[in-house]
Structure formats: structure tokens, C-alpha cells
Amino acid sequence: MLQSPRPTVYIETYGCQMNVSDTELMLGKLTESGYESVEQPDGADVILINTCAIRDHAEQRVIGRLGEMKSRMKRDAVLGVTGCMAQRLGSQLLDRARHVSLVIGPDSYRDLPLLIESARSGIRTTATEFDLEEHYEDFTPRRFDGVKAWIPVQRGCDYRCTYCIVPTTRGPERSRQLAEVVRETESVVSSGISEVVLLGQTVNSYFDGQHDFADLLRAIGNVKGVRRLRFTSPHPNDFSAAVIRAMAETEACCEHVHLPMQSGSTRTLKRMLRRYTRERYLECVDKLRKAIPNLALTTDVIVGFPGESEADFEETLSAVELVGFDDAYTFKFSLRDGTPATRFPPSDTVSDEIASDRLARLIATVRAGSRERNLKLLGERREVLVEKSARRGGLLQSRTRDFKTVMIPGDVSSIGRYLSVELTGTTGSTFIGKVVPQRIALPLAV
Ligand code: 5AD
Ligand code: SF4
């Protein structure tokens, strides 16, 4: 007789790395509870959409996707919405979409197997309580990436940037115990992964009651087998001298910082409640660059924030040029319900036409700057870690310590290996590389 097959679960992830990491935790929990993870929603017994609420566009995509699931999911499948949009909209989602039976916020994944069971017997539930103790310490994440590991070290956010929905969707900031992060890192390394990325909403404000982010960097850098250590995303105000020193002195710590700037205008930064000025941001950049030679910097920038004038925007452009970012994620401001930015008078609204025009000018400035920087790197040698097959051209995608993407020839057996490459070409943003023999240090003859 055939054994009854295990129920299947499909999870689709939107948004940031924290959501990717949460999906890994959920899949870990569900596979441990007897579910089989599948790659397609069609035919799955359970479908979870792990959502992002940061911009309206992100939510609209999910709404479209939920509509699509209605015709694709099998009749008795359970469809659940998890993550930030679930937290933000709660039971409204159940009212609006009759085919959704679970709405689960980021602090309620512990109950996932139970909630799915009850949904399978017809009970529709919303679970959106915050839990300040919750770090899912006893979960074993099921990692998708065999080359680098995302390790959450902090959940939630205590800043109150006026544009941002995250404090509402992920609750107050809390940090994991350093010993737990070390334990997870050791287990990751023992599975053959040598690059770790520490995750937190303002990751460098990490404090577990005893240890700060400097301590954490040193501790993780000391775990045997960690060859590359990254973190995302820091807040400029939390780069203390101790953190910068720890970065400089920790060999595994890569020469790249993603340092969200948001705006180059002090007036706008104030209205964003970023708690730094243009000058303080630039000072932070200087300190980092002084301590860490050849540091690459990337950033996030928002255009069209309420009240942003042409002069404010030009300050953003000039700051982008002054810093010389290696790359930037650029966004048009999106007004989120429940954020302090809703309280600016309507007359402060920047029209979509102006915001679009500024976005295009910003992107052009970022591209020109990164192209100029990247052209100067041609001919240099770099150590790369091979990440995966590239989407086109039968090439492999690899990454330098300073976060440059390098396409190289080779076969999949190189994935996960460190190679030495010469940068031979650039599109302006990514590179083409030639693998060169590693220089081997020969013992001196005696
Ligand atoms: N509108 C546009 N961009 C936003 N971000 C956060 N909130 C908003 C918003 N309401 C951007 C910020 C942040 C990145 C993750 O998303 O630049 O750093
Ligand atoms: Fe991540 Fe923020 Fe989007 Fe939530 S709202 S998924 S924390 S980017």
C-alpha cells in the first residue's frame, strides 16, 4: 500500500533579506513538522506569501499575486499571508480575500504548524501579536543559499524615521544573545559555508544587554572557518569608534558598507527624523574610509519626500557625487498609512512627475559615478567567491570582498570556491573577469 505522502508547502518571499531569513526559519519549522517544501504553488497543500510593506508598490505586487493564486491553488489548499503586510493589515486581509485563511505577523511564526492545521479544518486566523522575546532560537533554518548564510542578530526597530512602516510591522528592537549568534555561525560553518551576513534593521545598534556590535563583529570574526563577514543595514549614528575599530581589526570583515543616506539635505534629513545632518553623514563616511582602506560604499536614497525642494534634491545629488558611492538603491517616496509622514500638510506633497524626474536624474548620477570608479579597477586582481550560475551566457556569478559582481567562465563545480580573478571588463556596474592562478606562498629555501 502507498504511504500517505507528506503535505507540501510553498513559500514565496518579497522584500528584504530579513524576510528571506524569516522564510528560511518558517521552512525549517515546517519541514521539521513533516511538510515537504516544493518550488511551485500549483498543487501545494500550503501556500505562504511572505510579504513586504515598505512601499505601496511592494504591496500591490502581493495583492496581484494573491489574486493569481485564487485560480492556481488547489481547492483544499491553505493560503496564508505572512510578514510585514500581514502585520500591517491584519484581519482586513481575511475580509478582503476570502481565499486567504491565515494572516501571520513576523513574531508569530512559532505557531505556524498549529495555525496551518486549524486552517486545514476551516478555521481562519490572524496572529499579529509582537513578542519581545522572540528570536526563534530553537528553529533550524532551511537555507536556500549554500554559499552565504543570512544570520539575523536583531529584530524590530526603535528609530522612528517618519517615512518608515517598519517599526509598525516589526515592532520594537531586540537583539539576540551573542552566544546564540556564535552558535548559529559555528553550525553554518560546519555545513561548509564561509560567508556570513549579519542582519538587523539597524544592525550596528545591536546590544544584547552585555555586548555591543563591536563585540559581536569580533566574536563572529573569530569563529574558525568564517572567511567573509558582512552585515546589513547599519544606521550612520551607530558607527561608534569601537565598531569602526572592530571592523578594521577583524580580518574576515569585508571592505564594504551599505550605509543608507536617504537624503543629502539636512533640512530633509531632519523632516525624515534621521537624527544626523549631511555633515555628520559625510563625517561618518570619512571615518570609515580612514579606518578601512579601499572601502566600497553603497546606499539607499529616497526622492520626493514631502517638502523636498529642488535645492534639497540638488544637495542629495552633490552628496552622492561627493561620497562616490559604488552603487545605490534609489526610491521614490511612497506614503505609508500610519507613518508620521502622513501628518505633513498636503501642500508638501511632491508631484509624481517631479519625483520621477528626480529619480531619473539621481539614477544617472549614481551610474555615472559608479562607472567612473569601476573603470579605474580594470586590470586589478581580486579574490572572488563564486556564488551561482549567471542567468546568461553560461558564466558564473562571483563576488569580491568589496561587493563587486564579477562574471567569470567556469562550471558549477566552482560554486562556493574562492578564486583569484583579473577584472578584464565592466558594463559600468558589473565586471567580467579572467581566472588567474592563485599566488601560492612558497616556503623560503633554507
Ligand atoms: N518610501 C520609499 N522608500 C522607502 N524606504 C523605506 N520606506 C520608504 C518609503 N515609505 C527605503 C529606504 C530604506 C529602504 C529599505 O527602503 O531607503 O533604507
Ligand atoms: Fe523588510 Fe521592511 Fe519590507 Fe518588512 S517592510 S519586508 S522589514 S523591507
The closest residue, in CA terms, to atom 8 on ligand 2 is: 16
pLDDT of residue 346: 97
Grid coordinates representing 102 are 491565515
Ligand closest to CA 163: 1
Range of the domain at 50: 8-127
**Span from the CA of 188 to the centroid of ligand 1 (angstroms):** 31
Q: Residue 249: CB partners within 8 Å, gap ≥ 6? A: 218
Do 275 and 178 lie in a common domain?
yes
Mutate to test the pocket of ligand 2, among 11, 12, 52 (most ligand atoms within 8 A of CB): 52
Peptide bond into 233 cis (omega under 30): yes
Give residue ranges with CB within 6 A of ligand 2.
Answer: 15-16, 18-19, 52-54, 83-84, 165-166, 169-170
Provide mean pLDDT across the span 234-263.
Answer: 98
Do 210 and 352 lie in a common domain?
yes
Mutate to test the pocket of ligand 2, among 16, 24, 87 (most ligand atoms within 8 A of CB): 16
**Span from the CA of 164 to the centroid of ligand 1 (angstroms):** 6
Ligand closest to CA 272: 1
Each residue's pLDDT tens digit, 198-245:
999 999 999 999 999 999 999 999 999 999 999 999 999 999 999 999
Mutate to test the pocket of ligand 2, among 170, 258, 300, 337 (most ligand atoms within 8 A of CB): 170
Give the CATH number, domain containing residue 388: 2.40.50.140
Higher per-residue confidence, 205 vs 144: 205
Domains identified in the chain, total number: 3
Residue 3 maps to a domain: no
Residue 173 maps to a domain: yes
Do 266 and 309 lie in a common domain?
yes
Residue 132 maps to a domain: no
pLDDT of residue 2: 52
* Cα gap 42→71, rounded to integer Å: 10
pLDDT band at 441 (very low <50, low <70, confident <90, very high): low
Residue 444 maps to a domain: no
Give the CATH number, domain containing residue 326: 3.80.30.20
* Cα gap 12→33, rounded to integer Å: 19
Each residue's pLDDT tens digit, 312-341:
999 999 999 999 999 999 999 999 999 999
Do 100 and 216 lie in a common domain?
no
Question: Coil, strand, or helix at residue 207?
Answer: strand
Do 387 and 356 lie in a common domain?
no
Ligand closest to CA 316: 1
Are 202 and 238 in contact by the 8 Å Cβ rule? The answer is yes
The one-letter code for the residue type at 412 is: V
Do 361 and 287 lie in a common domain?
yes
Do 226 and 109 lie in a common domain?
no
pLDDT of residue 437: 85
Do 117 and 180 lie in a common domain?
no
**What are the respective helix, strand and coil percentages of the chain, to the nearest 5?**
40, 20, 40
The closest residue, in CA terms, to atom 1 on ligand 2 is: 16
Do 345 and 203 lie in a common domain?
yes
For residue 17, the ligand 2 atom closest to its alpha carbon is 1
The closest residue, in CA terms, to atom 12 on ligand 1 is: 300
The last residue of one of the domains, among 324, 350, 375, is 375
pLDDT of residue 443: 60
For residue 301, the ligand 1 atom closest to its alpha carbon is 17
Q: Is 260 in the pocket of ligand 1 (CB under 6 A)?
A: yes
* Cα gap 101→117, rounded to integer Å: 11
Residue 445 maps to a domain: no
For residue 260, the ligand 1 atom closest to its alpha carbon is 18
The last residue of one of the domains, among 326, 346, 375, is 375
Residue 446 has pLDDT above 50, yes or no: no
The last residue of one of the domains, among 350, 375, 400, is 375
**pTM (2 decimals)?**
0.95
DSSP secondary structure code for residue 402 in this structure: T
Residue 247 maps to a domain: yes
Do 251 and 315 lie in a common domain?
yes
> In degrees rounded to 5, what are phi and psi of residue 422?
-105, 135
pLDDT of residue 4: 61
**Span from the CA of 25 to the centroid of ligand 1 (angstroms):** 25
Residue 141 maps to a domain: no
Where does residue 243 fall: left (phi above 0), alpha (psi -120 to 50 degrees), or beta otherwise?
alpha
Do 342 and 399 lie in a common domain?
no
Give the CATH number, domain containing residue 108: 3.40.50.12160
Grid coordinates representing 72 are 492556481
Mutate to test the pocket of ligand 2, among 20, 169, 232, 337 (most ligand atoms within 8 A of CB): 169
Do 217 and 357 lie in a common domain?
yes
Residue 93 maps to a domain: yes
